[in-house]
Amino acid sequence: MAVGPWQIVLIALVILLLFGASRLGDIGKGLGEGIRNFKKGITDDPDESDDADEDEEPKQLAGKSLSDKQAVRKKQNKA
């Protein structure tokens, strides 16, 4: 059961009637921005941000007792 070109046109017309022409432009713009931001987030270097988080934690916890370190980690996990 494949979707033919006439079925796609019919679906497009129903969507146009439901949302209106001006609203479809806003929806398309929002979808485009969302996809662009998603792609930008994926292409960023994930190793760079992970290493930064790992390096900061030992510096913040240096010189604190074990219970203080556990309290800080619990707060970080909640945030």
Predicted model pTM? 0.39
Distance of CA 26 to the CA centre of its chain: 20
Higher pLDDT, 43 or 56: 43
| 47 pLDDT higher than 90 | no
| 25 pLDDT higher than 80 | yes
24/60 Cα distance (integer angstroms): 49
Q: Tell me the C-alpha to C-alpha distance, in Å, between residue 65 and each of 3, 10, 39, 69, 75.
A: 65, 68, 42, 6, 16
**What's the residue count for the chain?**
79
The whole-number pLDDT of residue 55 equals 53
Q: Tell me the C-alpha to C-alpha distance, in Å, between residue 36 and each of 24, 51, 66.
A: 18, 25, 44
Cβ-based neighbours of 27, under 8 Å, separated by 6 or more: 19
The whole-number pLDDT of residue 33 equals 95
Higher pLDDT, 23 or 67: 23
